[in-house]
Structure 1
Amino acid sequence: MEKPKSSCSTLQSIAVSFFFFFFHLNAHAQSLPPAKFDGFVYGNHSGDLNTIRIEAFYDPVCPDSRDSWPPLKKALDYYGSRVHLVIHLLPLPYHDNAYAASRALHIVDLVNPSATFTLLEAFFGQQKQFYNAETRYLSRASVVDNIVKFGVKVLGESYKNALVAGFNDRDTDLLTRVSFKFSTSRGVYGTPFFFINGFLAPDQGSPLNYTGWRKLIDPLIKKKKRSWSQHLSL
C-alpha cells in the first residue's frame, strides 16, 4: 500500500465518534489507575518540572507517525536534557496490524526499555510489510508470527522467547489497551498528535519539521532562562 496523499488523520472525522464511544463504554472497566504512567521515555532523559515535556501519540504503522519521527528525534538530540519525550501508542482501528505492533513494543519495553525505540524505528523503516493490503490474506496468528520474527530479526534471537510469551500474556494486552484508553482520554483521535507541557501543539495531526520544532521550543527555553535569572536576582 502506497502512502496516501492525505495523512493518517484523513479518517479522523469518521473515527472521532467511534473513539469517544469506545472510551466511554470501557472507562468503567478500568477500575484502578495503571501501576505506572503510560508511555515510553526517550533516551536517558529524566523529566521534572523544569524540563519541557513533549508527548507524542504514535501509531507504529502510520506513515505520518513515521515521517514525523526523524525531525522530532533531531530536535530532541539538539536540546538534550532540556526536553523530555514520552511516546504514547494509539493503534488506529483502520490500520489492521497497529494493535499487534503496539503490543510488541510493550513486550520489548518490559524486557529492555532501551530497545523499545530500536523496534519502533524498525517498524517505521519497514512499515509496508504490515500495511492492510500486504496482509489482507493473512490470519491474525500469521501476522503476530511475522511480527515476532521481525522483532527477533531487529533485536536478536534473545528476544524470541519474550516476544512469543508476551503475545500469550494477558498483561501485555492490558498494557496496550491502557495506551489506547489513555490516548482517547486526552482527546487524541489520530496520529501523530503532540502535546507540549500538557498543551496541544499547533498543527497537530501533521508532521512537524525540524525548523518547526525549533520555533516551538526555542521560545520556551528562553522564557525559562529569563524566569531563572529573575529568580536569582530577587
Structure 2
Amino acid sequence: MTGFRCTVIFCVTIIAHAQEVPVPPRPQGYVYAYSQSNNLTDLQLHAFFDPLCPDSKQAFPTLLQVANHYGPDVLTLRLHMFPLPYHRNSFLASMGTEAVYQLASSPSAVFDWVAKIYDNIYPLSNAPTKHMSETDVTKYICSFVS
C-alpha cells in the first residue's frame, strides 16, 4: 500500500509540474489610453470582444464612451481579442490586431483598427467570404491598413 501511495504522489507531482503555464511578457489585451503617469488605475475594465461579432460591434462605441467619460486617470480599459469559432475570419482579424499593435506608433492605433474592422464587418462575415481562401481574406483585411 505504501508503494502505491508513493507511485500516486509521484504521478500527481509530475502532472502538476507539466501544467505550468509561462507568464506572458506583458499583460494581455490592449489598453485604450494610458494615464499621465502611465500607471494602471484602481478601476479596470476588461472587455473580451470578437472582432467579427455583431454584438461586439454594437457594444464597442459604448465601451469607448465609458472610457472617455471617466478618462484614463480613473479607468483603465483593456480590450481582449476573443475570436469565436463560428465567425470564420475572426482569428485572422485578431492576428491583424496584434500586428497593428506591434507595428503602430501609438496605442490608439489598435482601437482605430478595431473600429475599421467593425466598419467592414459584413464583407468579412461568413457568407460573403464563403468562397474566398484564407490568403484572399488576409489580403482583404490588410487593405484596411493605411
Equivalences for residues 68-147 of structure 1 within 5 A: 68-80=59-71, 81-112=73-104, 113-147=107-141
Q: TM-score, normalised by structure 2?
A: 0.78
The letter of the residue matching 2:31 is: V
Q: CA deviation at 1:122?
A: 0.7
Equivalent residue number for residue 64 of structure 1: 55
Q: RCO (CA 8 Å, sep 6+): is it higher in 1 or 2?
A: 1
**Structure 1 residues 30 and 61, CA gap change in structure 2 (3 angstroms):** farther
Q: CA deviation at 1:62?
A: 0.5
Task: Tell me the distance in 2 between the aligned counterparts of 1:29 and 1:41.
Answer: 29
Equivalent residue number for residue 41 of structure 1: 31
Which has the larger share of helix? Answer: 1
Equivalences for residues 172-211 of structure 1 within 5 A: none
Query: Contact conserved, 1:66 with 1:124, CA < 8 A, in 2?
Result: yes
CA RMSD of aligned residues (A): 1.7
Equivalent residue number for residue 7 of structure 1: none
The letter of the residue matching 1:97 is: N
Task: Tell me the distance in 1 between the aligned counterparts of 2:117 and 2:100.
Answer: 13
Q: TM-score, normalised by structure 1?
A: 0.50
Task: Tell me the distance in 1 between the aligned counterparts of 2:33 and 2:23.
Answer: 25
**SS across alignment from 1:118:** helix
Q: Deviations over 1:128-161 (max 9, x none)?
A: 010000100001111111111122xxxx2xxxxx
**SS across alignment from 1:127:** coil
Of 149, 157, 170, the residue aligned with 2:143 is 149
**Structure 1 residues 38 and 52, CA gap change in structure 2 (3 angstroms):** same
Q: CA deviation at 1:51?
A: 2.4
Q: Deviations over 1:73-92 (max 9, x none)?
A: 11111111211100111100
Task: Tell me the distance in 1 between the aligned counterparts of 2:112 and 2:125.
Answer: 20
* Alignment size in residue pairs: 124
User: Which 4+ residue blocks in structure 1 deviate beyond 4 angstroms?
Assistant: 28-31
In structure 1, runs of 5+ residues without a counterpart are 1-27, 157-234
Q: Which has the larger radius of gyration?
A: 2
Query: Contact conserved, 2:123 with 2:129, CA < 8 A, in 1?
Result: yes
Q: CA deviation at 1:47?
A: 4.7
Q: Does 1:52 align with 2:46?
A: no
Identity %: 31
Task: Tell me the distance in 2 between the aligned counterparts of 1:63 and 1:90.
Answer: 13
**SS across alignment from 2:69:** helix
In structure 2, runs of 5+ residues without a counterpart are 1-17
